[in-house]
Amino acid sequence: MATNRFVCEICNKGFQRDQNLQLHRRGHNLPWKLKQRSNKEPRKKVYICPEKTCVHHDAARALGDLTGIKKHFSRKHGEKKWKCDKCSKKYAVQSDWKAHTKTCGTREYKCDCGTLFS
């Protein structure tokens, strides 16, 4: 569980984020300053979809990790290789197919240990 690392020196109210504390300090008429990103700070690497017509081809809508963009590309633009034997639904990502096959035809989810969940 997260702790309130940022504490107001006036009323001892705690906040999980420094920005929230800074906004709170305004209510006490204390000096406050929100952290601004300078142009010299390194930018977080983003992964854009290679498909030019995709919304995730724009850097502003890019995904944050390589695995995420790979799965996105497979799901939205790739070949659907895995097919459910019960309902014939097809999947491009094997983990999606595996999750589907566990619940297809039932409203219950069967865990690998054998326990059934609704």
Residues 59-83: pLDDT tens digits?
888 888 888 889 999 999 999 999 9
Coil, strand, or helix at residue 112? coil
Q: Where are the domains of the chain?
A: 1-31, 43-94
Higher pLDDT, 35 or 98: 98
Model confidence over 36-47: pLDDT tens digits? 666 666 667 788
CA–CA gap between residue 37 and residue 43 (Å, rounded):
9
CA–CA gap between residue 14 and residue 1 (Å, rounded):
14
- Is residue 34 within 8 A of residue 19, CB to CB? The reply is yes
Higher pLDDT, 49 or 107: 49
- Is residue 18 within 8 A of residue 6, CB to CB? The reply is yes
Average pLDDT, integer, range 30-58: 78
